[in-house]
Amino acid sequence: MSAAEDFDCVVVGAGVQGSFTAHQLAQKNQRTLLLDQFVLPHTRGSSHGQTRIIRKAYEQDFYTHMMEECYALWAQLERETGVKLYRQTGLLVMGPEKSQNYQLLKTTLERNKVPLVLLTRDNFSQHIPNFTLAEGDGALVDITAGILYADRTLRTVQAQFQKLGGIIRDKEKVMDIKPGPVVTVSTSAGVYRAKRLVITAGPWTNRLLSHTDLQLPLEVVKINVCYWKEKVPGTYSVKRRFPCFVLTEGEETNEHIYGLPSDEYPGLVKICYHNGVKTDPDQRDKQTDRSDINLLQKYVARCVPGLIPEPAVVESCMYTMTPDRHFVLDCHPKYSNIVIGAGFSGHGFKFGPIVGKLLCELSLGEVPSYDLSPFRIRRFQTKTKSAL
């Protein structure tokens, strides 16, 4: 076997979080290697597909605060590369007016002075045509929200990383990790030594952590990504300024249902259920549960009358859930030169630039730019309650 190659830092996992982290490390002049088990780009993790929602509408202030800087970082990346990554559409938030979830979202937005429009039952259909606001539901629009172009983002940030001298090796699966002051990482193709390791392995995180005596309470679920055909093409199109939307809870479920205007596939609107059924990440396509699709069909028939209530396209993706649905951004409890970014619980894409910055700071032993207590591993020993 050839001699091990030396790096300042190895990042395992070239999804959105690993790619932004590697880019940040390279910006700080760290000789960095970014590894992925699959040929890039691929559709087998959590970061593929054309679009994601970006929003400041959250129940917790700490996410809304992080998004302030995050929007600026997205804009900076667009400026530096000349690539359009964000399109403003606004996010229509709906939910039972008196419910805790809806009220928390509304008050967090108001408290943080996020530009928003409160819709009334009387003016709702004038602003949002061909859509049903259920009896008793409130509605508001988070104006700055919109769409992020996901596949394009990964290509762009990986190219920026390479421009700075960063090295990407794909189709190299990490098979073993030997912790220590210098970490040894063995892959299907080579051996690398690094002062620091970052694990951003999405649904495979616990597989990687098993080499370091750590397991996190992560659950991997399969998401059926459903696209619904417009009866009249263009009815819910991004060009007609139809917004992204989220229903916090409704007749069909207490879980979020969310949607994006037709854009990536002309004539098709993406509407998904914000949870899924447990799966092994290597056996994703063997999980064939359709209970979420049945529920979405009822919702579409009830509230989005301009769509055919039968999905025209169903794609697959995975969420990696923590018990409280907050991320894990922390150093390994035993090995401070191993940093973990995981458990993004289906809402991590928009935070990519800030997650990259924070994981880079943790890796270099710098004081993190934000209070990371909601994201620390130690919370799992004391708190496993469900977050909103």
Ligand X SMILES: Cc1cc2nc3c(=O)[nH]c(=O)nc-3n(C[C@H](O)[C@H](O)[C@H](O)COP(=O)(O)OP(=O)(O)OC[C@H]3O[C@@H](n4cnc5c(N)ncnc54)[C@H](O)[C@@H]3O)c2cc1C
Residues labelled as active-site residues:
48, 51-52, 270, 274, 317, 350
Nearer to ligand X, 121 or 175 (CB): 175
- To ligand X, the closest distance from the beta carbon of 123 in angstroms equals 27
163's CB contacts (< 8 A; 6+ apart) are: none
**Alpha helix segments (H runs only) across 188-310:** 205-209, 291-303
Local structure of 323: helix, strand or coil = coil
Q: What is the DSSP string of 113-180?
A: T--EEEE-TTTHHHHSTT--PPTTEEEEEETT-EEEEHHHHHHHHHHHHHHTT-EEE-S--EEEEE-S
Integer CA distances (angstroms), 78 to 74, 105, 237, 238, in order: 6, 28, 23, 20
Least separation in angstroms between CB 87 and ligand X: 13
Residue number, 21 or 30, with CB nearest to ligand X:
21
Nearest residue to ligand X on Cβ basis: 15
Separation of alpha carbons 237 and 268, rounded Å = 9
Residue where the block lists tokens 């005596």: 213
* Rounded least distance, CB 122 to ligand X, Å: 30
| Of residues 145 and 303, the one with the C-beta less far from ligand X | 145
Binding residues vs ligand X (CB under 6 A): 12-18, 35-38, 45-47, 52-53, 173-174, 200-204, 208, 223, 225, 272, 317-319, 344, 346-350
d(C-alpha 215, C-alpha 176), whole Å: 15
CB of 10 to ligand X, least distance (A): 10
| Nearer CB in complex with ligand X: 124/287 | 287
- The percent of the chain in helix, strand and coil, each rounded to the nearest 5, is 30, 30, 40
Nearer to ligand X, 124 or 312 (CB): 312
Q: Which two tokens stand for residue 172?
A: 């190299």
Rounded least distance, CB 98 to ligand X, Å: 26
What are the distances in angstroms from CA 314 to CA 296, 301, 345? 12, 17, 20
Q: Which DSSP string do the residues of 337-369 spell out, in sequence order?
A: TEEEEE--TT--GGGHHHHHHHHHHHHTTPPPS
Question: Toward ligand X, which CB reaches closer, 203 or 323?
Answer: 203
Q: What is the nearest approach in angstroms of ligand X to the Cβ of residue 192? A: 12
Query: What token pair was written down for 230?
Result: 């417009």
